């Protein structure tokens, strides 16, 4: 938390000094600020090096890339409040929609880049203690007596919103696709485009089950996805952690593979963290071309391979295949086909008075 | 102000002007902006946000935990101040410096430290299983079987399991310096001969404390209490590490504000903040009133 604040502060200070120096800097030197969410720190540190080197080779100019990380909602808020981000790479579409509604990003951003403008994906899986003592293999096992589930608060954590959607979709037997083949991906895209009504929202049984889970199996609710990892791995609370797949790998690497096992449920959600150029900022600063190239570069074979290395699922099928031992293929359902996209999911589930709030409403 | 002693200070109007500017820029203008932000909502919306059961529960938790923590600091802070002023002991200076520690330490670090102490394998939380194993082992050697259940001492991880307990614990930590630092100067000025006099007149220890010492300390003590209480209400960083943050049960009011902000609901966040501030202001005014009354009463006596 503190480190996060510190980094945001650092990025802000960096930006301030940039504004001060802007008029005197050589015209050829360009700076870009990428405002991102928590777990992507390593990914963008490495990608920035890759992209800056390529930029220097192509143009001969120096590109300085700055990055800022924090909770996705909080980062979106900073951009709305005036942090001059050239690009945003956030955890969920809703946060970019919020920036769009503030008038900083033009509508239609999700169509400007391939794959719903999310160059890499991830999913929600389980982290359990070594040897899986409680025998947690699939979603239904979370309701076993005595099992304690660690997840973050969906009101404040982007990752936890994906967890909530994964739970809901899996319980409602959402239609899944095989994302390891081009044909499966095409089917999923077609199904999303064709989806009209979304019966999962009317599933009262699922809602009751989820309320039961949060009321009786969730002992703590951290504000952020990273906080829930700390609760599970460092504070040793609970029997199973529900979180981003890449975050689970990070926890396993950080705290030692001898302590934890990653468990993949039979189906899960394809989480699609989107990226977008902040139109108003790049037009003001004259950085549109390089900002667009920066995001486009995320789809390049090198960047896709890098994503795979750091436990994100590459969109590129060759890269995905290369890392299939660590990122096993399971059937995925999508937010667009199952829930009709972020705006609908956000207003039904997570807005004030939504289904999540009802879980904790005291009985009158 | 004519004829008041402050006139001897040159540049009086300059210092006054500066003070007013300073207070306005730092406190009044931001406060006004906060209140203004809530006018973006209708009164019905304001009411709906601030009386939501989950928000109400968070106010209750914040004020209860802060009050309990201030009370604990009131009692133990007084004892600490007394010990530091009255007794010379090795390391006394060191302990005296230690009192200010909670001011300097980022509270998030404090929360994290407390949390890790009471973990299942932390220094204190981990003591339970080890003690149980030890006692049972010893009993086994003596042929007494195993008298303790393996989970008998798991309550040592209480800050995690006890909800409010953990929150009060960290609030006691962040509020520690206030009572000590407000009471200490009064105690230093205090002449122990009053106690000797009271004793010679036949007063018992408790009577001396109650009738002679405490009335003298009371105004300072209650301002320390008020400061510790106010500090607890605003505390965020340390609490979220140790609380389980379950809506309606263990979410403090500042977390409710952050939750609203993360959902881009600026006005709703401001509304909760305004209510929190208003309640705090009323309580602090009441405490101030008590303090004033005590000072006047003391002077009259």
pLDDT at A21 over 60: no
- Residue A20 has what pLDDT? 41
What mean pLDDT comes out for the span A345-356? Answer: 92
Which residues from B are below 8 Å from A151, CB to CB? none
pLDDT at A185 over 70: yes
pLDDT at A10 over 60: no
| pLDDT grade for B161, boundaries at 50, 70 and 90 | low
Contacts of B57 (CB under 8 A, 6+ apart): A362, B247, B248, B249, B251
Least confident of B164-173, B216-225, B241-250: B241-250
Nearest CA-CA distance, residue A165 and chain B, Å = 17
- Residue B142 has what pLDDT? 80
Burial class (CB in 10 A: 0-12, 13-18, 19+), A195: middle
Q: Which CATH architecture has domain A121-271+327-359?
A: 3-Layer(aba) Sandwich (3.40)
Nearest CA-CA distance, residue A77 and chain B, Å = 7
Least confident of A300-314, B31-45, B234-248: B234-248
Which residues from B are below 8 Å from A146, CB to CB? none
Which residues from A are below 8 Å from B247, CB to CB? 153, 155, 221, 357, 359-360
What mean pLDDT comes out for the span A63-77? Answer: 93
pLDDT at A11 over 70: no
Tokens encoding A191: 């199904």
Nearest CA-CA distance, residue B164 and chain A, Å = 13
pLDDT at A249 over 90: yes
Cα–Cα distance measured from residue A238 to residue A224, given in angstroms and rounded to the nearest whole number: 16
Pick B115's closest partner by Cβ from A73, A74, A235.
Answer: A235
Indicate the average pLDDT of chain A.
Answer: 90
Tell me which range, A27-41, B10-24, B172-186, B207-221, is most confidently predicted by mean pLDDT. B172-186
- Residue B88 has what pLDDT? 86
Instruction: Let me know: does B78 contact B183? Beta carbons within 8 Å.
Output: yes
| pLDDT grade for B158, boundaries at 50, 70 and 90 | low
Torsion, Cα A336 A339 A342 A343, to 10 degrees, reads 120
The DSSP output letter for B208 is I
Cβ distance B246 to A1 less than 8 Å, yes or no, reads no
Which residues from A are below 8 Å from B109, CB to CB? 2
Domains of chain B: 40-121+150-300 (1.10.3720.10)
Which residues from A are below 8 Å from B237, CB to CB? 1-2
Tokens encoding A11: 């990025």
pLDDT at B111 over 90: no
What mean pLDDT comes out for the span B131-136? Answer: 82
pLDDT at A24 over 80: no
pLDDT at A122 over 80: yes
Residue with the bigger pLDDT between A95 and B150: it is A95
Cβ distance A362 to B261 less than 8 Å, yes or no, reads no
Give the distance from CA B123 to its chain's centroid. Answer: 25
Cα–Cα distance measured from residue B200 to residue B203, given in angstroms and rounded to the nearest whole number: 7
Burial class (CB in 10 A: 0-12, 13-18, 19+), A352: middle
What mean pLDDT comes out for the span B258-266? Answer: 87
Sign of CA dihedral A38, A163, A233, A250: negative
What mean pLDDT comes out for the span B126-148? Answer: 80
pLDDT tens per residue across span A80-105 = 999 999 999 999 999 999 999 999 99
Same fold, A2-119+272-322 and A121-271+327-359: yes
Tell me which range, A22-26, A344-348, B133-137, is most confidently predicted by mean pLDDT. A344-348
Of A159, A219, A227, A236, which to mutate for an interface test with B (greatest number of B Cβ within 10 Å)?
A236
- Residue A16 has what pLDDT? 43
| pLDDT grade for B44, boundaries at 50, 70 and 90 | very high
**Fold of the domain spanning A2-119+272-322:** D-Maltodextrin-Binding Protein; domain 2 (3.40.190)
pLDDT at A203 over 60: yes
pLDDT at B5 over 80: no
pLDDT at A256 over 50: yes
pLDDT at A23 over 90: no
pLDDT at A2 over 70: no
Tokens encoding A71: 């909770």
pLDDT at B150 over 90: no
Q: Which of A159, A162, A165, A172 is nearest to A205 (CA)?
A: A172
| pLDDT grade for B6, boundaries at 50, 70 and 90 | low
Give the chain B residue whose CA is nearest to the CA of A364. Answer: B53
Neighbours of A254 (CB within 10 A): 12
Q: Where are the domains of chain A?
A: 2-119+272-322, 121-271+327-359
Cβ distance A352 to B263 less than 8 Å, yes or no, reads yes
Cα–Cα distance measured from residue A179 to residue B258, given in angstroms and rounded to the nearest whole number: 37
pTM over 0.90: no
Q: Are strands A87-89 and A63-68 parallel, antiparallel or unpaired?
A: unpaired
What mean pLDDT comes out for the span A333-341? Answer: 96
Give the chain A residue whose CA is nearest to the CA of B122. Answer: A235
pLDDT tens per residue across span A149-169 = 999 999 989 999 999 999 999
């Amino acid at each position: 938390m503190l480190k996060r604040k510190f980094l945001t502060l650092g990025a802000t200070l960096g930006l301030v000094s940039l504004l001060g120096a802007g008029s005197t800097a050589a015209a050829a030197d360009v700076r870009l600020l990428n405002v991102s969410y928590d777990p992507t720190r390593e990914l963008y540190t490495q990608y920035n090096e890759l992209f800056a080197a390529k930029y220097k080779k192509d143009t001969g100019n120096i590109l300085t890339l700055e990055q800022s990380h924090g909770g996705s909602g909080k980062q979106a808020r900073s951009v709305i409040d005036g942090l001059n981000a050239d690009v945003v790479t956030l955890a969920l579409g809703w946060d970019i929609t919020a920036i769009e509604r503030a008038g900083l990003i033009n509508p239609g951003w999700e169509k400007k880049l391939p794959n719903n403008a999310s160059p890499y994906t991830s999913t929600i899986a389980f982290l359990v203690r070594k040897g899986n003592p409680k025998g947690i293999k699939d979603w239904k096992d979370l309701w076993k007596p005595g099992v304690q589930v660690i997840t973050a608060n969906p009101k404040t954590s982007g990752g936890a919103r994906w967890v909530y959607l994964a739970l809901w979709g899996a319980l409602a037997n959402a239609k899944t696709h095989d994302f390891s083949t081009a044909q499966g991906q095409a089917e999923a895209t077609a199904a999303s485009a064709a989806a009209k009504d979304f019966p999962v929202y009317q599933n009262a049984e699922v809602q009751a089950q989820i309320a039961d889970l949060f009321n009786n199996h969730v002992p703590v609710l951290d504000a952020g996805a990273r906080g829930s990892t700390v609760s599970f791995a460092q504070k040793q609370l609970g029997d199973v952690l529900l979180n981003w797949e890449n975050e689970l790998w990070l926890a396993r690497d950080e705290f030692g593979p001898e302590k934890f096992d990653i468990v993949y449920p039979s189906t899960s959600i394809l989480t699609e963290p989107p990226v977008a150029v902040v139109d108003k900022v790049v037009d003001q600063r004259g950085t549109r071309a390089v900002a667009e190239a920066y995001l486009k570069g995320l789809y390049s074979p090198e960047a896709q391979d890098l994503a795979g290395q750091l436990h994100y699922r590459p969109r590129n099928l060759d890269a995905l295949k290369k890392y299939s031992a660590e990122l096993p293929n399971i059937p995925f359902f999508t937010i667009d086909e199952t829930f009709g996209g972020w705006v609908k999911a956000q207003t039904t589930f997570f807005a004030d008075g939504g289904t999540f709030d009802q879980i904790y409403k005291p009985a009158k | 102000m004519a004829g008041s002693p402050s006139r001897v200070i040159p540049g009086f109007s300059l210092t006054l002007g500066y003070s007013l500017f300073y207070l306005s820029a730092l406190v009044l203008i931001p406060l006004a902006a906060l209140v203004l932000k809530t006018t973006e909502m209708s009164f019905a919306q304001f009411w709906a946000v601030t009386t939501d059961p989950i928000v109400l529960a968070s106010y209750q938790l914040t004020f209860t935990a802060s009050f309990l923590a201030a009370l604990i600091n009131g009692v133990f802070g007084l004892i600490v101040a007394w010990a530091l002023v009255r007794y010379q002991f090795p390391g006394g200076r060191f302990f005296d410096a230690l009192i200010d520690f909670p001011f300097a330490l980022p509270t998030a670090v404090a929360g994290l430290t407390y949390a890790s102490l009471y973990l299942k394998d932390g220094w204190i939380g981990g003591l339970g299983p080890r003690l149980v194993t030890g006692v049972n082992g010893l009993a086994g050697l003596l042929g007494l079987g195993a008298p303790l259940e393996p989970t008998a001492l798991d309550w040592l991880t209480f800050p995690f399991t006890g909800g409010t307990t953990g929150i009060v614990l960290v609030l006691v930590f962040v509020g520690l310096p206030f009572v000590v630092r407000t009471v200490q100067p009064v105690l230093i000025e205090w002449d122990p001969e009053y106690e000797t006099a009271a004793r010679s007149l036949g007063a018992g220890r408790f009577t001396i404390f109650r009738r002679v010492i405490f009335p003298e300390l009371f105004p300072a003590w209650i301002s320390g209490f008020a400061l510790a209480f106010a500090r607890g209400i605003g505390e965020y960083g340390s609490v979220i590490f140790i609380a389980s943050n379950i809506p309606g049960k263990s979410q403090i009011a500042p977390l409710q504000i952050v939750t609203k902000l993360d959902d881009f609901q600026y006005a709703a966040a401001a509304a909760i903040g305004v209510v929190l501030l208003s309640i705090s202001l009323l309580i602090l005014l009441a405490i101030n009133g008590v303090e004033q009354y005590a000072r006047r009463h003391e002077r009259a006596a």
